Amino acid sequence: MIIKKIKAKKILDSNKDVTIQLAVISDIGKGVASAPNGSYEEINAFSKNGIDFTINFINKDLDQALKNFKIDNFSDFEKLEEEIKKFDNTEDLEIIGSNTLIALEYAILKAISKNNVWKFLNPDIKQVPRPLTNLITSNDFKEFLSISLNSRNFIKAADINSAISSVLKRELKNLDKDFTGNQINGAWFSNLSIQQILDLVKDVTGEASKQIPFTINMGINVNASNLFDYNKNKYEYKNFSVGEKERSLSREEQIKFISYLIEKYNLNYIEDPLHEEDFEGYSTLKKNYGHRCLIASSNLNLTNFKKSDEENCINAVVIKPNKIGSLIKTKNLIDSAKENKINTIISERSGETEDTTISHLAVAFEIPIIKLSILGKERLIKIKEINDIEKQIKNK
């Protein structure tokens, strides 16, 4: 495939924040892709000079530089990224931003595959991932989740998650006097305390489990770095319990609290339970609960899993391609995790778009779990895409 033209413009994500959409026109077709926005980023989503600079750079400099650039297979993306380094060789993509590079690579993948990205990357795939679904978000924990790994297919699990979400909305109206029906990160926002929400999710998923032939497990995304006060060296909670709204926990108390929740609610998934520098704390949780629970992180600085502290502290890693800022680095991280027997999870972002590329990457890269919320067109379109792919695989 030969690139003929690249065109960028601004669009709004699901949070009404500005992000980027790119169109790549080639000699064999056109690909259009966009990048989501995240709430916790280690590298620049856009140029340090602003998104308008990014758009102008793409439409002038990058369009000319990549005109007639030839790309035929996935390994050619290494050549593409080397070309990009001529413009931005900074480690954090300060000049162009991670969203720019990912949106560009997504658009190229769509163009070269005629929008069948999964089939272009891995045509012999026989299985699609299972959903990890954000149901409720709160003042303290970012996500209260359900996960079903033993469902017969993807859509059955997605359908039951949708039904659970509807029941939760009804129950939240009764239990949460301040519930407005607002959606954040594709889930219902609740003012209830942590354990009130967990009790509710446990009841609703438990009832649902009686009616289906597979298991619904519970999980949480603590997003602990957002709770951690580095000056006080404490985790600061705003709505800890019914009897105690504000609560400060030391490192040891935080580990004890997470351990208590795992045991009381039989949690099967814990994401970012401690701040991103506490490798030792993660290792403690993995040692005690790794046999029964996925101890996952999206915030630890994990570039590979060959260092002993990284390898021993988690048994699952959350992959966010636009946060990584490169398809090649994303694939390398996935491969490194698999080599070290660490589970991989590909994830949507808080500010999503209607781009469905992560659905294709989840299938093609044989990632067993995809984190997708159930509310909003930006989330539902990704669920539909995996359902369509699953049908195509079964009909081969």
- Kindly indicate the confidence band of residue 210, based on its pLDDT and cuts at 50, 70 and 90: confident
Fold classification of 130-394 is: TIM Barrel (3.20.20)
Q: Can you tell me the mean pLDDT for 388-395?
A: 93
pLDDT of 340 reads 87
**Nearest-angstrom CA–CA distance, 390 and 157:** 13
- Kindly indicate the confidence band of residue 395, based on its pLDDT and cuts at 50, 70 and 90: confident
Q: Look-up: residue for tokens 């030839």?
A: 70
Q: Can you tell me the mean pLDDT for 37-50?
A: 76
Residue 308: pLDDT over 50: no
Residue 130: pLDDT over 60: yes
Question: What's the Cα-to-Cα distance from 295 to each of 85, 170, 254, 291, 335, rounded to whole Å?
Answer: 35, 31, 15, 10, 19
Check if CATH label 3.30.390.10 holds for domain 3-114: yes
Q: Where are the domains of the chain?
A: 3-114, 130-394
Beta strands in 202-276 (DSSP E): 217-221, 228-229, 234-237, 247-249, 269-271
pLDDT of 309 reads 52
Q: What one-letter code names the amino acid at 90?
A: T
Sort strands 234-237 and 228-229 into parallel, antiparallel or unpaired. antiparallel
Q: What one-letter code names the amino acid at 39?
A: S
pLDDT of 346 reads 97
pLDDT of 92 reads 83
pLDDT of 386 reads 97
**Nearest-angstrom CA–CA distance, 25 and 110:** 10
CB 127, CB 180: distance < 8 Å:
no
- Kindly indicate the confidence band of residue 41, based on its pLDDT and cuts at 50, 70 and 90: low
pLDDT of 312 reads 75
DSSP secondary structure letter of residue 58? I
User: Which letter, b or e, does each residue of 173-183 get, where b requires 16 or more Cβ atoms within 10 Å of its Cβ?
Assistant: eebbeebeeeb
Q: Can you tell me the mean pLDDT for 143-169?
A: 93
Q: Can you tell me the mean pLDDT for 254-278?
A: 96
Residue 185: pLDDT over 90: no
pLDDT digits 0-9 by tens, 62-89: 999 999 999 999 999 999 999 999 998 8
pTM: 0.94
Q: What is the mean pLDDT of the chain?
A: 92
Q: Dihedral angle at the C-alpha atoms of 218, 186, 236, 309, nearest 10 degrees? A: 60
